[in-house]
Structure formats: structure tokens, C-alpha cells
Amino acid sequence: MSRSRTRRGALAAVAAVALLTITAGPATASPAPAAPPAKGGEVTRIEEQVARDLARSLADPAWRAGLRAGADAGTAQLAPLASRSSAPAARGLAAGVADADRRIAAAKGLGAEPGPLLQVQLADPSMRAALDAGLAPLVAAATADDHARTITAYDTAGRSHLLRTEEIPNRPVYLVDLDSARTTAAGLRVLGAELARQGLGLPVARPAAPAAAGWWATKIDAVEVKDDEEPWFKGDAEMFALVTGFGLDGKVRVDSVDMPYLNNDGTVYRPNQILVNWSNYKYNLADVVLMEDDGDTNYQALATAIAAVLLTIADQGAYIPLVNAVLSAVPASWWTDDPDYVDSWYTLARTSSGRLDGAAANGWLSVSPYFVEQF
């Protein structure tokens, strides 16, 4: 089932999304006369093409049964699932999906191919009854657009159907989406490596510490992000934090923190996760920007853009807020349709503790100081 994510424009809340309805009405309705062109970046276009190809391939009853079995428990990686099937339609699909995985890895700046990236899932568990009744499924690409009033789904003849955003369709729909946990983890590795190459995250040599030494950290005890809906058409997305401050060398430092557990809005998570390693910072203050990957994020481009702005900020012997500098560095494409900025926290100190509300009033963190001892 797709997982909800909250998206905000810079310091502005987005409206809640309603549940959805199918434009065509009952399962026997005719398709819409034409589908609008796919919006978004290269990754979105690739997902749309794979959704169309997958829909056509489901004209093969054996492959349709195989997909049902593979995705019945949740999400399934599409390329491996298709390649394991003996159905002719699945074998033909597998090569195209594998190529799509490679193109997505390139579009997201992930470097060496991180493995299968596209996955498929039934849009809502309630649709299993329609599959049991023999209704032919539609296939759509999961959208990250919170404001979408329609999405395009395809049938086994390749015809398009517009599904409106008012209630869950009464016809089964498979969603093609990214394995965002995998792409975000790979992307943050790229981000960290590029920022380090640019001088924004290099480790600083220190004298050998006593055996009983360690370092102070800020630990996330609890976190919640606000939103109102969990629409069926939304795909997976992953949140991550950018921690910024001045490093021991006097240069701006950016550390990325993956938060793959932060799946659902309105849910309090208690990860006990290290957010800030204070031994990396010169001053007792740092900033945190919470963001998410909606699919079209290019991590190489993001790192380059952030570095271009932050490298111009000089250490003036005191803490300087860096949230606005980070947000101004984010490529313009990130603010199109669905902003990837979630919230931010200023002046986090080593002694900070308790609940801290975000500047955009879109989430909160409960933190505490934590000493990490060396063995």
C-alpha cells in the first residue's frame, strides 16, 4: 500500500488531498478519449512508459496471475518478478523494465546501477476482491503530486483511463513506483561523496583520544510529520535530513541523515536515531532541514547546487543560520508541482532537549543529548 508523505513549499503548508474516484465510473466504463501528457521529469516519464507496457503485458493470463501472486503481499520488484516468470509477456517486459531501471539510476545521478528500482503494488488492499471476481486490472504510475485531481491508468489494450481524486476506484489498479528506500539510500551516498569532494563534509584529523573518550550527539527520541490523508495513488517517498553548520576547519559542513522509517503522517515514530555528531562541528549550534525524495530528485545535481551556495559563506567567528542558504540552493525543479521541503529547525544545540516544533509548523522533533562512548 502506498505510503503518505507530506510536502511543503518553502515555509508554506500545502492543502490536504481528498480521496479519489474513477472518472469512468463502474469497472465496465469506457476509457477516457485521451490522456494528458505526463508531467514531471525524466523519472516520471519513464514510470509512465513502464506502467503502459506493464498494462499491455497483462493481457497474458499466466503473467497476470504471476503478478497477482508476486504483489499480493505488498510491493514487489518488477524486473526480478517479470524475469522469473515463464509467461512470454513477462519475459518480454523484463528487459524493458531492466533498461528503465538503468535510465532512472542515471536520471537520479546515482552513479553505478544500485539494482532494481521499479516496484509494483496493488493500489489498495480493498481491490483484491475485484481481482478475485475476475476484473481486469488497470496500471498507473504512482504520482507524487499532492494536488493531482486525476491520474492516468492503462488497460491491457494500452488505452488510457482518467482516475479522479475523490474516492478509491472500484476497479483494481496496480501502481508502478520507485523503491524509494533503495534510491534514497543510494542517493544520500552520492550526496555525501560529492559534498565531501567539494569540501563540505570532509573528516577532520584529531589527536588520538583517551580510551574512555567519545563524542556528544543529539538523538531523535520521537518525530512526527503532519498531513491529513493517505491517498491510494501516492507512491513511496523517503525523507532525509540535511544537518548544517561550520566544521572544525571553519568551512560549512553538510551531513545527510536517512530517515527511512518516517513513512506515515500523523504517526509518532521513536527511532532513537543520532541526528547530529557534535564532534564534527566548530560551534555549539547547527541547523536541520527535513526533505524528501519524490522520485525525480537528482542527488548529484542537488549536491553540486548546495555546494555552489554554501562554499561562498565564510566563517565569521560565530554561528550563522544556514537553512535559508540550503533552501535557496535547491534546484528550481524541486519546487515544481510538489515541493520536497518538509520543515526546518534552527539553532539546535548540544544541550537541546524535549519537543522542538519546526519553523514551517509541519512537524516536530523530540531530542535529547547523548554521549557516545568509545570502546
According to the model, what pLDDT value does residue 264 have?
75
Return the C-alpha cell found at 118: 521499479
- Please report, as a single letter, which amino acid is at residue 257: V
Q: Write phi, then psi, for 327 (nearest 5 degrees).
A: -65, -35
Helix (H) or strand (E) holding 305: helix 299-310
CA distances from 309 to 15, 92, 117, 223 (A): 31, 46, 31, 29
Q: Give 355's strand partners.
A: 366
Placement of cell 513511496 in the chain = 236
pLDDT at 34: 35
Q: Are 291 and 240 in contact (CB under 8 A)?
A: yes
22 phi and psi, to 5 degrees? -85, 130
Q: What is the pTM of this model?
A: 0.72
Burial class (CB within 10 angstroms; exposed 0-12, middle 13-18, buried 19+) of 42: middle
> pLDDT tens digits, the chain, 375 residues: what are they?
333 333 333 323 222 222 222 233 333 333 333 333 334 588 889 999 999 999 999 999 999 999 999 998 788 999 999 999 999 999 889 999 999 999 999 988 887 767 899 999 998 889 999 999 988 999 999 876 667 788 899 999 999 999 886 778 889 999 999 988 888 888 888 888 888 888 886 555 454 445 458 899 999 999 999 864 456 777 656 789 999 999 988 889 999 999 988 877 788 999 999 999 999 999 999 999 998 887 777 888 888 888 888 888 888 887 788 888 888 877 665 554 344 788 999 999 999 999 999 999 999 999 999 999 987
- Integer Cα distance of 367 and 257 in angstroms: 15
194: left (phi over 0), alpha (psi -120 to 50) or beta: alpha
Q: Alpha carbon of 66 to those of 19, 54, 256, 282, 284: distances in Å?
A: 29, 13, 39, 56, 56
**pLDDT computed for residue 230 by the predictor:** 52
Q: What is the pLDDT of residue 3?
A: 39
> How much is the pLDDT for 41?
80
